Amino acid sequence: MKKILVLCTGNSCRSQIAEGYLKHYAGDRAEVYSAGIEAHGINPRAIAVMREDGIDISAHTSDVMDRYLGVGFDYVITVCDNARERCPYFPSSAQQLHHNFPDPAKAQGTEEEIMQEFRRVRDMIKAYCESFVGENLK
Q: Is 8 a catalytic residue?
A: yes
DSSP sequence for 59-82:
T----BGGGGTTS--SEEEE-SHH
**Catalytic residue selected from 26, 57, 80, 105:** 80
Residue 36 corresponds to which amino acid?
G
**Catalytic residue selected from 5, 8, 26, 42:** 8
**Catalytic residue selected from 55, 57, 87, 125:** 87
14-26 helix and 44-52 helix, angle to the nearest 10 degrees:
30
Q: Is 13 a catalytic residue?
A: no
Query: Using CB atoms within 10 A of its CB, is residue 116 exposed (0-12), middle (13-18) or buried (19+)?
Result: middle
Q: Is 87 a catalytic residue?
A: yes
**Among all residues, which ones are annotated catalytic?**
8, 80, 87
